Amino acid sequence: MSSSKITNLPRVVVAALKGGAGKTFLTVGLVAALRKRGLNVGVFKKGPDYIDAGWLGMAAGRDCYNLDAFLFPEEIARESFLRKSAGSDVSIVEGNRGLFDGVDAKGSYSTAELAKLVNAPVILIVDATKITRTAAAMVLGCKLLDPDLRIEGVILNRVAGTRHETVLREAIESAAHVPVLGSVAKLPLENFPQRHLGLLPLYEHPQAAEFVDQAAEIVERAVDLEKVLAICQSAEHLEIPDSSALDQAAAVESKPLLRIGILKDSAFQFYYPENLEALRNAGADLIFLSALVEKDLPELDALYIGGGFPETHAEALARNDVFKNSLRSAVENGLPVYAECGGLMYLSRNLLIDRHSYPMVGVFPVDSVLERNPQGHGYIQVEVQEANPFYPEGTVLKGHEFHYSYVTGLDRPGASYAFRVVRGHGMDGHRDGICCGNALGTYVHVHALGQPEWARCMIQKARAYRQRK
């Protein structure tokens, strides 16, 4: 197959030695600072992440796209990166966890492997808390562990003072031969609210725009942006096939557009941009709704409810009886509904939080119980074994799960479970994919690039519903 070279694609991967090193805050600041210079910055997040991607997108003023070679094939990840970088002055990819942390001892699907996949240099964030020369050993170790990886710069974070910075800089540059691009002092955590594994979600931050501006100011003062841009511009050429599976997936159907509702508000905010694009490309007119303020559900051909934090809006969701009743009535009349994680919780009978019970929509005959620790976290793989509204039996789905809730009453009559859990936890370690009528609820978040049948099945079900009406 012939290929054409992409010759001008400055890019970099921002990585860290571990999770919690301040990588997202500094990447958001870096993106926002470059944008203030008038640059068009393409932004990407490694791994199945919605929250960091939201902040990066806000900093860049455009959608942030996920790159994950577990959720979709490497060639698709690489091509998506190239496509979404088109027209950008520079592209920045934020890694996840530690640089080499993957699903196994070889570091499969790690940030390092992604950097090599897109042939990008790496800037390493080093949390300098209570270390000096040991930081040089860690940076040098990263270089030696994989000589094919181009670690071109270091940004120090949480530095205690001028002397601390001086010792760190001299040690890293003399022993590891990697330039230190900047040094950020310790910052008061109350300025940067966090939840679970990272920053507070964009929609819930009380001063989101101010946060991004402050991050940009800190990076502008502390980091040599000219050296960062020079590293980005040192990235080598990449090749992309002339013929592409993404071209085929983007073919828009000529039939009348189907009205597919999307619950999107501060309670339900987790949607991959590619999933929404896939629905549009397959023939959908997306109707954005809020479960917090809407009254009657409008006329729809299908509804997609993504993940989020319904638990932080439990009272408001419970109070909106008009919308809940309208949605439940629509499901009883056959409306196709695809609900992921938070959407599953919303369609349950009750949401139980610290001995308080909040009535939800009541489509599924189960209750959702919120715990303080994750009940499922990581990649998940399920096999479709039973009849359901969307997927053919035998389909294997790859996705991710991250939920602090579990469901009770799995053995109650009135619902079936379509998925067998092959990897991960799902609802109980064995089952997932609760079905009731044309509604399906699951803890599995799928990505349209890895599961292109997802959008096709949504459209087929929506068209069948419209025709029946």
Quote the Cα angle for 363-437-276, to 5°.
80
Q: Which residue, among 60, 117, 81, has the nearest Cα to 6 in the 3D structure?
A: 81
- The 3-state DSSP class for residue 408 equals strand
Question: Is there a domain that residue 284 lies in?
Answer: yes
Q: Are residues 410 and 327 in the same domain?
A: yes
Write down the pLDDT at residue 415.
77
Q: Is residue 453 part of a domain?
A: yes
347 and 207 belong to one structural domain: no
| 341 catalytic residue (yes or no) | yes
Residue 127 lies in a domain: yes
**In terms of domains, do 279 and 344 share one?**
yes
CATH (domain of 308): 3.40.50.880
Same domain, 96 and 52: yes
Residues 404 and 372 occupy one common structural domain: yes
Task: Tell which of 241, 271, 296 closes a domain.
Answer: 241
Query: Has residue 246 been placed in a domain?
Result: no
pLDDT at 252: 46
Are 325 and 431 members of one domain?
yes
User: What is the pTM assigned to this prediction?
Assistant: 0.91
Pair (204, 298) in one structural domain: no
Say yes or no: 276 and 418 in one domain. Answer: yes
In a domain, 247, yes or no: no
Select from 281, 268, 214, 291 the least CA-distant residue to 50.
Answer: 268
Q: What is the pLDDT along the chain (469 residues), one digit of tens a residue?
A: 445 555 679 999 999 999 989 999 999 999 999 999 999 999 999 999 898 999 999 999 999 999 999 999 999 999 999 999 989 999 999 999 999 999 999 999 999 999 999 999 999 999 999 999 999 999 999 999 999 999 999 999 999 999 999 999 999 999 999 999 999 998 765 455 554 445 556 666 567 788 899 999 999 999 999 999 999 999 998 876 665 555 544 444 546 799 999 999 999 999 999 999 999 999 999 999 999 998 899 999 999 999 999 999 999 999 999 999 999 999 999 999 999 999 999 999 999 999 899 999 999 999 999 999 999 999 999 999 999 999 999 999 999 999 999 999 887 777 789 999 999 999 999 999 999 999 999 999 999 999 999 999 999 999 999 998 8
Same-domain pairing of 179 and 291: no
Examine residue 436 and state whether it is found in any structural domain, yes or no.
yes
| pLDDT score for 254 | 45
Looking at the structure, tell me whether residues 73 and 152 fall in a common domain. Answer: yes
Answer whether 16's CB lies under 8 Å from 23's CB.
yes
Q: At residue 53, what is the residue type?
A: A
Question: How many domains does one find in the chain?
Answer: 2
* pLDDT value, residue 280: 97
Rounded to whole angstroms, how far apart are CA atoms 11 and 264? 31
185, 216, 241 - which closes a domain:
241
In a domain, 401, yes or no: yes
Tell me which of 189, 208, 241 is where a domain ends: 241
In a domain, 372, yes or no: yes
Identify whether the C-beta of residue 417 lies closer than 8 Å to the C-beta of residue 434.
Answer: yes
| Domain of 265, in residue numbers | 252-468
Q: What are phi and psi of 190, to 5 degrees?
A: -65, -20
Distance of CA 414 to the CA centre of its chain: 33
Residues 201 and 310 grouped into a single domain? no
Contact of 371 with 403, CB cutoff 8 Å: no
Q: Which of 64, 232, 341, 457 is catalytic?
A: 341
232 lies in the same domain as 362: no
CATH code at position 27: 3.40.50.300
Tokens (6 digits) for 104: 């196994």
